[in-house]
Amino acid sequence: MIESSLQRLRARPSIPRRLRRFLGDPPAVLGFAIVAAAVLVAALVHLLPLPDPTELNLQDRLLPPSWQFPLGADHLGRDELSRLLYGTRTTLGLAGISLTIIMGIALVVGGVSGYYGGWLDTGLMVVDLLLAFPSLILGIAVAGILGPSLMNVMIAVSVVWWAGYARVIRGMVLSARQRGYVEAARAIGASDHRIVVYHIARNILGPFVVLATLDMGWIILGIAGLNFLGLGAQPPTPEWGAMLNDSRSYLQTAPRLLFFPGAAICLLVLGFNLLGDGLRDLLDPTTYPR
Amino acid sequence: MNGYLIRRLLTLPALILGITLISFLLLNFAPGDAAEITLRRQNGGIAAPQEAILALRRELGLDDPLPVRYVRWVSGALRGDLGDSYRTGNSISAELARRLPSTLLLASVSLALAVAVGIPLGVLAALKRGSSLDVASRLLALLGAAVPSYVLALLLMLFFAVKLDWLPALGYGSPKNLALPALALSFGVMAQLMRLTRATMLDALGQDYMRTARAKGLSEAALVWGHALKNALIPVVTVMGTSAGQMLGGAVIIETIFGWPGVGQFVVVGISQRDYPVVQGFVLYLAVVFLIVNLAVDSIYRWLDPSLHFGRQPA
């Protein structure tokens, strides 16, 4: 009862009102459209009538765009459009799985450390200090030592990113724990489990989603960067960073091989950034109205 | 201040030791056997007989327990000896020392460029809020966050080296060689600094001390550049520590693209050849550089805002 009246006091905007506000923010809608399109392509690309992205046809190498090859053929005669679209699955998939791993670890470690404190809290601070190093260098080192593979790229990205996340979650839980509603819930005898799940989790969900969306851009850049260095996808797997690396030898003859994957990476990152900014404005009442 | 610096200096060795431990443990999980790789290189790519591998393993001390090998590596590193490259057999410390100036040159010129363009642009965008310049700066910020340095590097190379033939695409030695890599490396950080400066500057312009200063009859220029900017820069300097790290990290990719003979290129070759001691030495080397940079940034902080009490900063 206390909980519901407190919520009424805080007068959250209703879902339709929030939706209307979101739709009134064109950059955010654009971001949502880009991200949604990329997710759809990644999920359904195998249903599209595309040639095999790994099939070599050396007589077609570096062919310019035509009806047969809408974006031309790459240096091994593979269909560029098909590789680009299948590449969405590789790049976005890697980023999505990495983000899930990171969030999982960070939620547990950050949550427990923020709620209970103690030695775990100290331990987290030490790990965080160690991981304060430039993430790309650390990612390159980890992926380099483990050897080039898609799996190791995900491991490298997760190892590098989880601690920073855990610290943010810890901060959110810590500040949520000191709020009146948690105290109120404890006063009426709620268990730790109930407080964490019903009170704290619900209140940090919004900022958490914003953070994850904004960070997706960084993760994609990092993953494409590792692949660009040859640390991830091995031929013939289509992946944007690896495609960019392949294009380097053909800057003179076929610069489009640079443009397409380059534009794809930038567009997807831009999409996540715009969507994240929009969601932040939406969930944070202090930034509205601007 | 001195107490703070001393405390920071004391934690440095602990942090560096932690880094060496992590990189050593990771290396231990790495596939491939040092003795086998070394022998294969010496034999020109032919696999060596099993007895020879075992003999070399014993000689290199690879059969010793993990803690023994770790202590041996760290004590070597303390004496400035990071071991020899599997690939070339050369001393890694010597190679890193030879290449570090190139990387530092690239990173520092890029950072200077980012600061010299990003901060004034951010100030102007804040002063002329809502103008077309402000709108342009927002677009620039979006682009800077979305265009990775390696894509920008290839685009710059395509236009300025391949199409227009104004600047060399590869090479090292002249300022002309530095232009494209520095531009590619600085763009993202520049956009980030600009965006942050704009925000903190807007915040500073609305503060009470600005009204006080204006009431004192200070000129508008003194107000903006002396009072507001100095306060607006404090958070910007914090971010610059991270930026310096980003530069060093980004340099790894940029060096590879432009054939820049820095430590980044060295380690990328090392990684692709599974030359583990090189990777390990590189991680340690950059950890040290990074920590020193961070310390320097903290000192600039102190100079900008003497009211800060170090060691008791809010988290």
In tens, the pLDDT along A201-246 reads: 777 888 888 888 888 998 999 899 999 988 888 888 899 999 999 8
- For the segment A83-105, the average pLDDT, to the nearest whole number, is 92
Q: How far is B246 from chain A (nearest CA, A)?
A: 6
Helix (H, G, I), strand (E, B), or coil: what is residue B63? Answer: coil
CA distance B107 to B184: 11
Preferred mutation among B15, B154, B162, B289 to probe A, highest tally of A CBs within 10 A: B154
For residue range A149-186, list pLDDT tens digits in order: 899 899 888 888 888 788 888 888 888 877 788 888 88
Q: What are phi and psi of B250, to 5 degrees?
A: -60, -30
| Residues of chain A neighbouring B282 (CB-CB closer than 8 A) | 141
- For the segment B154-173, the average pLDDT, to the nearest whole number, is 83
| Residues of chain B neighbouring A217 (CB-CB closer than 8 A) | 145-146
Q: How far is B219 from chain A (nearest CA, A)?
A: 30
Q: What is the DSSP secondary structure assignment for residue B84, as one 8-state letter? A: B
Give A108's contacts (C-beta < 8 A, 6+ positions apart): none
Percent of residues, chain A, with pLDDT higher than 90: 24
Instruction: Let me know: does B188 contact B149? Beta carbons within 8 Å.
Output: yes
Q: What are phi and psi of B99, to 5 degrees?
A: -95, -20
A247 touches chain B (CB under 8 A): yes
Measured CA distances, A173 to A126, A168, A206, B168, B276 (Å) = 19, 9, 13, 53, 40
Percent of residues, chain B, with pLDDT higher than 70: 92
Task: Enumerate residues 47 to 76 of chain A having a beta carbon within 8 A of any beta carbon in chain B.
Answer: none
CA distance A252 to B184: 19
State yes or no: pLDDT of B97 exceeds 50.
Answer: yes
CA distance B293 to A137: 15
A216 touches chain B (CB under 8 A): no
CA distance B194 to B122: 4
Name the residue with higher pLDDT: A254 or B7.
A254
Question: At B128, is the pLDDT very low, low, confident or very high (cuts 50, 70, 90)?
Answer: confident
Find the residue in A nearest to B287 (Cα).
A133
What pLDDT does A70 receive? 83
- Cβ pairs A/B, distance under 8 A: 118
Helix (H, G, I), strand (E, B), or coil: what is residue B79? Answer: coil
Question: At A129, is the pLDDT very low, low, confident or very high (cuts 50, 70, 90)?
Answer: low
| Residues of chain A neighbouring B15 (CB-CB closer than 8 A) | 129-130
In B52-84, which positions are buried (b, 16+ CB within 10 angstroms) versus exposed (e)? ebeebbeeeeeeeeeeebbeebbeebeeeebbb
A270 touches chain B (CB under 8 A): yes
State yes or no: pLDDT of A99 exceeds 90.
Answer: yes
Task: Enumerate residues 81 to 120 of chain A having a beta carbon within 8 A of any beta carbon in chain B.
Answer: none
For residue B251, the surrounding DSSP H or E stretch is helix B229-258
What pLDDT does B306 receive? 62
What pLDDT does A130 receive? 59
Question: At A289, is the pLDDT very low, low, confident or very high (cuts 50, 70, 90)?
Answer: very low
What pLDDT does B315 receive? 37
| Residues of chain B neighbouring A244 (CB-CB closer than 8 A) | 150-151, 154
- The per-residue pLDDT of chain B, averaged, comes to 81
What pLDDT does B313 receive? 44
Structure token pair of residue A164: 């920073």
The angle subtended at Cα A266 by Cα A263 and Cα A272, nearest 5°, is: 135
- DSSP state letters, B259-279: T--SHHHHHHHHHHTT-HHHH
Q: Tell me which of A56-60, B62-66, B308-312 is least confident.
A: B308-312
Instruction: Let me know: does A110 contact A167? Beta carbons within 8 Å.
Output: yes
State yes or no: pLDDT of A2 exceeds 60.
Answer: no
Preferred mutation among B86, B253, B271, B280 to probe A, highest tally of A CBs within 10 A: B271
State yes or no: pLDDT of A12 exceeds 50.
Answer: yes
What pLDDT does A39 receive? 95
Q: What is the DSSP secondary structure assignment for residue A233, as one 8-state letter? A: P
- For the segment B25-51, the average pLDDT, to the nearest whole number, is 74
Percent of residues, chain B, with pLDDT higher than 90: 13
Quote the ipTM score. 0.82
CA distance B146 to A274: 10
Q: How far is A43 from chain B (nearest CA, A)?
A: 23
Instruction: Let me know: does A110 contact A89? Beta carbons within 8 Å.
Output: no
- Cβ B270–A144 below 8 Å, yes or no? yes
Instruction: Let me know: does A274 contact A27? Beta carbons within 8 Å.
Output: yes
Question: At A287, is the pLDDT very low, low, confident or very high (cuts 50, 70, 90)?
Answer: very low
State yes or no: pLDDT of B154 exceeds 70.
Answer: yes
What pLDDT does B190 receive? 93
Type of residue numbered A79: D
A131 touches chain B (CB under 8 A): no
In A164-189, which positions are buried (b, 16+ CB within 10 angstroms) versus exposed (e)? bbbbbbbebbbebbeeebbeebeeee
Structure token pair of residue B249: 């990290």
Structure token pair of residue B268: 């990328």
| Residues of chain A neighbouring B34 (CB-CB closer than 8 A) | none
For residue range A20-77, list pLDDT tens digits in order: 878 888 889 999 999 999 999 999 988 888 888 887 778 877 778 888 878 888 888 7
Count CB neighbours of B273 within 10 A: 15
Q: Tell me which of A15-29, A267-281, B109-123 is least confident.
A: A15-29
Q: Tell me which of A108-117, B134-143, B191-200 is least confident.
A: A108-117
Mean pLDDT: which of A39-43, B98-102, B253-257, B303-307 is highest? A39-43
State yes or no: pLDDT of A14 exceeds 70.
Answer: no
The angle subtended at Cα B287 by Cα B286 and Cα B292, nearest 5°, is: 95
Minimum-distance CB partner of B158 among A143, A258, A265: A258
Minimum-distance CB partner of B15 among A129, A136, A231: A129
Type of residue numbered A29: V
